[in-house]
Amino acid sequence: MNLEELKKQKQQCLEWKNVKPWYDQLQKLFEIKKENLTIGYDDWFSVGQREDLTPKEYEILVQTAKKLIPWRKGPFRLFGLEIDSEWQSNIKYNLIRPHFNLTNKVVADIGCNNGYYMFRMLEDRPKRLIGFDPSPLTMLQFEMVNHFVQSQIEYEKLGVEHLEIYNHKFDFIFMLGVLYHRPDPIGTLKSLARGLNAKGEILIDTFMIDGDEEVALTPKERYSKIPNIYFIPTVNALKNWLDRAGFDEFEVLAITTTTSEEQRKTPWSFDQSLEDFLDPNDKNKTVEGYPAPKRVYMKARKKA
């Protein structure tokens, strides 16, 4: 399928049986006439104040946000409505924030989910900011927030595998929390390399295991109850993947363990969360007996 056909799917999916009710609800959102709405680029990415809305408008806002549950990434505060997502994505964002400057750069966020990080990146005034994610629900969550932010962010309902046929190359690509979902991690990193301009940079994070060996864990079925996790490398194995995919200047930015402060159940994400994924008798293990989730954050540059 060529790029034009793939892009058409973005429109077509709005008619799908499971997606249409979300989209129809989104159409009920009102226009905000008020100029100079306040935007807060803080941990709670926020737009407007409660007093900017009539009670009827506020009610529509609440109904729309609830229709689009689960909100995995956030948090957002829209006109005083606090959407407290499953993940406190501000923790990840604040960790990576010192490691980039996007001013005047062409930037992609691959696996951008509802765009929480991109909304916060706006503060840097990138030249262009494009999110890729194949999920219709997260696309509509993005549309809901962006309806009020009215940013120039573009959202493509595409995957990392489409980067190489995309019509722009990027100076900086983020791909956070996606690599372990890919059955071909080196091929995925090659797609990033092909999507970059000369000397372009990537910032990624992925699950990792401890050890100096150049090996990766391959879960039999699920890892932390997640079905589509394929390879979990040591840091040295990840460096080899990056090298083979055409990157150098590797920089390990951080190694973290996910806590129940970062990932937990909230009224905006009703189903299971971290506490259900770990062995109740040993928090160092997943329910399947694998090492508990640990992440490595890395930056790398496309080889000259």
Ligand X SMILES: C[S@@+](CC[C@H](N)C(=O)[O-])C[C@H]1O[C@@H](n2cnc3c(N)ncnc32)[C@H](O)[C@@H]1O
138 binds ligand X (CB under 6 A): yes
178 binds ligand X (CB under 6 A): yes
Given 105, 181, 190, 239, the residue binding ligand X (CB under 6 A): 181
Q: How far is the CB of 192 from ligand X (least distance, A)?
A: 11
Interface of this chain with ligand X, residues 78 to 117, rule: CB under 6 A: 89, 92, 110-111, 113
What is the distance between the alpha carbons of residues 111 and 166, in angstroms, rounded to a whole number?
Answer: 15
Nearer to ligand X, 53 or 191 (CB): 191
202 binds ligand X (CB under 6 A): no
273 binds ligand X (CB under 6 A): no
136 binds ligand X (CB under 6 A): no
Nearer to ligand X, 86 or 171 (CB): 86
Nearer to ligand X, 78 or 139 (CB): 139
Q: Closest CB to ligand X belongs to which residue?
A: 159
Positions that interact with ligand X (CB under 6 A): 73, 89, 92, 110-111, 113, 132-135, 138, 159-161, 176-178, 181
